[in-house]
Amino acid sequence: MKENHINSIQKQFEYYKSLSEKTFDQLSDEELFWKHDNESNSIAVIVNHLWGNMMSRWTDFLTTDGEKEWRKRDTEFEDVIRSRVEMMNKWEQGWKTLYDALELITPENLETIVYIRNQGHTVTEALNRQLAHYSYHIGQIVFIGKMIRGDRWVSLSIPKGGSKKYNQEKFKATKHTEHFTEEYIHPKNKP
């Protein structure tokens, strides 16, 4: 059961990463820096914040506090990224740090206590906290992408008005066990 939880968490992180990347692919370089207003964050700013969080939380995940002394969280919300390439480099660095840390998680250490700002979490709680945090911000990225693209947006899930057709296809298949993210991360019958 514990190993299934670890695998499920890993797949869900991959799924949310893929949603962002499918959004990035629909946008021009300039659109990654678009803001609704001065109080809003651009996609690039959200990526910068996710990068800072990932670097802090997942570096030495099992042995040091997740809020590193070297982290400068407030600057994560400033317009410091200047290009798609720079944004994607930070994006990949953050996710690599996360994935490297996930390799260290075993069923035996899920109940180990790790700290974030001196507050103890089991590894399971810390995983759930970060998954929720990242999905929250990735939802923002997708929403901004949808706002920018308008009627040119290509749906990342079931298209509006497509639920009946989607469900018909699902119920044609035999019952099986597969993580729900598989069809989004590794779609079958698609190039």
168 found inside a domain: no
170 found inside a domain: no
59 found inside a domain: yes
Domain count, the chain: 1
48 found inside a domain: yes
175 found inside a domain: no
pLDDT tens column, 95-132? 999 999 999 999 999 999 999 999 999 999 999 999 99
CATH number of the domain residue 93 falls in? 1.20.120.450
pTM of the model: 0.91
End-to-end CA distance of the chain: 33
166 found inside a domain: no
Range of the domain at 138: 2-156
177 found inside a domain: no
DSSP string covering 23-80:
HHHTS-TGGGG--SSTTSPPHHHHHHHHHHHHHHHHTTTTTS-SS-TT--GGGGGSS-
172 found inside a domain: no
pLDDT tens column, 4-56? 889 999 999 999 999 999 999 999 999 999 999 999 999 999 999 999 999 99
